[in-house]
Structure 1
Amino acid sequence: MRHRATPPAGTGRPDPVATRVDLRPVDEDAPASAGGARTARGRARRSTPTSRTLSRIPRPLRLGAAALVLVLLVTTAWFTGLAVWANGRIEHVDALSDKADTPGVTYLIAGSDRRGGAVADDGTTGERADTLMLMHKAPNGRTYLVSLPRDTLVDIPDKGTHKLNAAYALGGPQLLVATVEGFTGLKIDHFVEIGFDGVEQLVDAVGTVNLCLDQDVDDPKSGLKWTSGCHDTGGEQALAFVRARYFDPTADLGRQKRQQQFVSALMKKVMTPGVLLNPVAQVKLAGAGTGALRTDSSTGIVDLGQMALAMRAVMKDGTTMEMPIKDPDYKTKRSGVAILTDDQQIATFFGSIGDGSAEPPAKTG
């Protein structure tokens, strides 16, 4: 039984203490008064603030929010399924060494002449790494991209001194990785190889890429036919663009600049709404990319996505670097003309890449 507070006799005002203690008896079985009913309803409303808040949101907005949640769930499921499917298409190879870790994350990106049907048979035996790029994300967050000319004279473990691309032909990805690690001093964390077929398929998956060259070219060895200027380029000519070097008096050095231009153009096209928001384009891109890729056994689709984002950041920030060269036309006794470097300059250069202190060359023009 509860008690109601009553005002002290003769005052007409409620006693401040009594108002906190109900002194009058109340019949628990008596029907609630209208005021009591309102109080009970008020308590019920106060006990469910979420329901009260939601009830104040207009119905169209509630339906819109539900639709948004549904879209997010479907989108998440789509990208998860696409990632699982793409990850299963990647070919993995043994590539990484047991070299001690160095700070940061380093990718070795190789364009190999696993020719398939993309390049006519020219008598080349075995496989060669025709294009080599090293991308490094330093501990301070700076990311660099360095082209490694394939004709660079290097020491290949247990094989002697040869051009860099010979490491791939002599011992595949493992020997190539070990050779690059010995040359740069950086531990390779991820190895990514794209066959020549991959370049053509990737470009065709996104439609075209815009490439520029300030001269007319008709190079029968690469198949590049070009009129001076910038052109939206399909897969076949994009492949020729990154392979061609004989028309260029700077040979391998000129080609590495065109390779960097191609990578920048491809990343720019991949990040456009027409590709990012187009499920058909996403499937074509994932299929083309993973079907042409080989990676080390620990590198999956997530790592490749991170590589693409880092590559895009490099192109945006302009942190593409050129390694120092002592003699671009060094005459060797058995390997023809090669690129000669200075050991101390190379150690200093890649040391600054490794710790993030390297500064890109000032832009001209």
Structure 2
Amino acid sequence: MTDRPSDRPDAGGSQDGPEFGWLYGRRPQGDDGAAAPGTTPASQSPQQPSPQPPPPGVPEPTRMMPVQPRPEPTPTAVHQTTPRQGQPASPTPPPVQPAPPQGPPGGPGAPARRGGGGGGFWARRVRRPRFWIRTVLLLLVLWLIYTVAVPFVTWKGSDQIAFEPSKGERPADQPGTTYLLVGSDSRAGLSAEERKEYSTGNPKSELTDTMMLLHTGDGPSVLLSIPRDSIVDMPGYGESKINSAYARGGPELLVQTIEGETGIRIDKYVEIGLGGVVDVVDAVGGVEVCPKERLKDPLAGLDIKKGCQEVDGKTALAYSRSRKQSALGDLERVRRQREVIGAIGNKVLSPWSVVNPVRWWKLNRAVPTFFRFGDGTSALDASRWAYAMTKTGSGDNRTCTMPVTDASANHWNRDLADPLFQAIIDDQTDEITDEQCTPNGVEVPKG
């Protein structure tokens, strides 16, 4: 059986059929077509928040939920859609660029800064091993330049003096190199206070208390001390003590006298002053000496105990000058002089003296007051001499005092001295015997 149109609920409704228009949102109407009591026309908005209940016998209409406005889409949520047929295409909004990610300063994505800060330019460079390698190499180069430059700068300030005799005949050239080291007691450059402090005495004295021949060549090096009271034939003055030659004719007469007595040609000349000993010893931080007995000499300003000890420049000078407290007198003094000079050489050429820039500067600044070199002496010659001085007494190298007849040291023992001189002249120092080369010139080593 098929429903007739008039019987369907969505039909306009019959006189006797039930009214279901409310089910589809239509308002019940009265007989006159007006809205049923208790209802509001669709074209009007309700004035009350809650509708009035319908009269008895009238079904309650379905309540319509208020329409919620759809929120406008955000730019990031806009999607391009295809318009339906018959509808105009809406314009496509421009693409929106995403915002950069937010993070802490200096974190990932933050631009590198050129200034300071934990992650700055210099902080990153310092952390690189290559930075430290370059820094160390740069400091090493600067240190090498400084170490080489300082001696040449101070070398220009040192004096060079004439020492080669202008009169008489000299020995012919000989193999090897022979240096004459002279320790003058000249007080030049010392103030009255310094002369008193160092107990140097007569300010006009220019005697040579120290005279040493240093020979270097193919054989062992030999350092030979000449006693100051040795009586020799001095050109123009006859027999005199050798230490007076310097005061009478300067280095030239002294060299002429020694060459005439020994037959050894002197190639280089080095002079040491009293004030220079103090300056150099203090510059290297003191030297070690080893007295064999307690020494106390008011005339030299010396008061030192027995045994090895570090001394300053003032004590080192007094130690090398004193000769009153030993039975051997000047012979023991020349031994102590060699000891002090050797100790200075060891300190001068020690690694710490070269590595320490302050000590290196003080040491080189003291050179002009410590040394005076003969004409023609180069910086290389002076370096060779200093190096040879530090090697004397070690290995096969020899340190000797001129063989003498007795403790007065007035006369040389020619039987021992002449063969010693000939070994130096021929550069055959390995032939020198222990009898010819003794520490004080008179004592023959036992055994």
Say if 2:215 is the partner of 1:136.
Answer: yes
AA aligned opposite 1:113: D
**Helix, strand or coil at the partner of 1:107:** strand
Q: Write 1 or 2 for the structure with the bigger share of strand.
A: 1
> How far apart, in 1, do the equivalents of 2:129 and 2:177 lie?
45
Alignment of 1:300-311 (within 5 A): 300-311=378-389
Match in the other structure for 1:176: 254
Q: Write 1 or 2 for the structure with the bigger share of helix.
A: 1
Equivalent pairs, count? 298
Note closer, same or farther for the CA distance 1:142–1:62 as it changes in structure 2 (3 Å cut): farther
Q: Please list the CA deviations of residues 270-294 of structure 1 after superposition, one character each: whole Å capped at 9, or x if unmatched.
A: 2333212101101111111222221
Q: Please list the CA deviations of residues 253-273 of structure 1 after superposition, one character each: whole Å capped at 9, or x if unmatched.
A: 111111111122222222333
Match in the other structure for 1:94: 162
Q: CA contact under 8 A between 2:163 and 2:251: conserved in structure 1?
A: yes
Q: CA contact under 8 A between 2:165 and 2:256: conserved in structure 1?
A: yes
Shift of 1:121: 5.8
Taking structure 1 as the reference length, the TM-score comes to 0.75
**Helix, strand or coil at the partner of 1:165:** helix
Match in the other structure for 1:321: 400
Q: CA contact under 8 A between 1:128 and 1:165: conserved in structure 2?
A: yes
Note closer, same or farther for the CA distance 1:151–1:312 as it changes in structure 2 (3 Å cut): same
Alignment of 1:253-292 (within 5 A): 253-292=331-370
Match in the other structure for 1:74: 142
Note closer, same or farther for the CA distance 1:360–1:286 as it changes in structure 2 (3 Å cut): farther
> How far apart, in 1, do the equivalents of 2:370 and 2:176 lie?
27
Q: Which moved more, 1:217-226 or 1:74-83?
A: 74-83
Shift of 1:70: 3.6
AA aligned opposite 1:192: V
Shift of 1:108: 0.5
**Helix, strand or coil at the partner of 2:224:** strand
> How far apart, in 2, do the equivalents of 1:122 and 1:314 lie?
32
Match in the other structure for 2:178: 106
Match in the other structure for 1:208: 286
> How far apart, in 2, do the equivalents of 1:64 and 1:360 lie?
57
Q: Which moved more, 1:298-307 or 1:61-70?
A: 61-70
Match in the other structure for 2:65: none
Q: Which moved more, 1:355-364 or 1:246-255?
A: 355-364
> How far apart, in 2, do the equivalents of 1:104 and 1:269 lie?
26
Q: CA contact under 8 A between 2:275 and 2:369: conserved in structure 1?
A: no
Match in the other structure for 1:197: 275
Q: CA contact under 8 A between 1:89 and 1:291: conserved in structure 2?
A: no
Q: CA contact under 8 A between 1:320 and 1:360: conserved in structure 2?
A: no
Match in the other structure for 2:326: 248
> How far apart, in 1, do the equivalents of 2:177 and 2:129 lie?
45
Alignment RMSD:
2.5
Note closer, same or farther for the CA distance 1:339–1:328 as it changes in structure 2 (3 Å cut): farther
AA aligned opposite 2:402: M
AA aligned opposite 2:153: W
**Helix, strand or coil at the partner of 1:89:** coil
Match in the other structure for 2:68: none
Q: Please list the CA deviations of residues 200-240 of structure 1 after superposition, one character each: whole Å capped at 9, or x if unmatched.
A: 11100011111111222221111110112221100100000
AA aligned opposite 1:134: L
Say if 2:340 is the partner of 1:340.
Answer: no
Say which structure, 1 or 2, has more relative contact order (CA 8 Å, 6+ apart): 1
Larger radius of gyration: 2
Say if 2:231 is the partner of 1:153.
Answer: yes
Taking structure 2 as the reference length, the TM-score comes to 0.62
Q: CA contact under 8 A between 1:328 and 1:340: conserved in structure 2?
A: no
Q: Please list the CA deviations of residues 297-317 of structure 1 after superposition, one character each: whole Å capped at 9, or x if unmatched.
A: 111332221111111121322
Shift of 1:135: 0.3
Q: CA contact under 8 A between 1:86 and 1:287: conserved in structure 2?
A: yes
Match in the other structure for 1:51: none
> How far apart, in 1, do the equivalents of 2:352 and 2:140 lie?
19
Shift of 1:125: 3.9
> How far apart, in 2, do the equivalents of 1:264 and 1:249 lie?
23
Q: CA contact under 8 A between 1:110 and 1:133: conserved in structure 2?
A: yes
AA aligned opposite 2:271: E
AA aligned opposite 1:78: Y
Give the counterpart of 1:85 among 135, 140, 153: 153
AA aligned opposite 1:89: G
> How far apart, in 1, do the equivalents of 2:421 and 2:316 lie?
30
Match in the other structure for 1:349: 420
Q: Please list the CA deviations of residues 148-192 of structure 1 after superposition, one character each: whole Å capped at 9, or x if unmatched.
A: 111111111121111111111111111111111112211111111
**Helix, strand or coil at the partner of 2:272:** strand
Note closer, same or farther for the CA distance 1:133–1:284 as it changes in structure 2 (3 Å cut): same
> How far apart, in 2, do the equivalents of 1:242 and 1:120 lie?
13
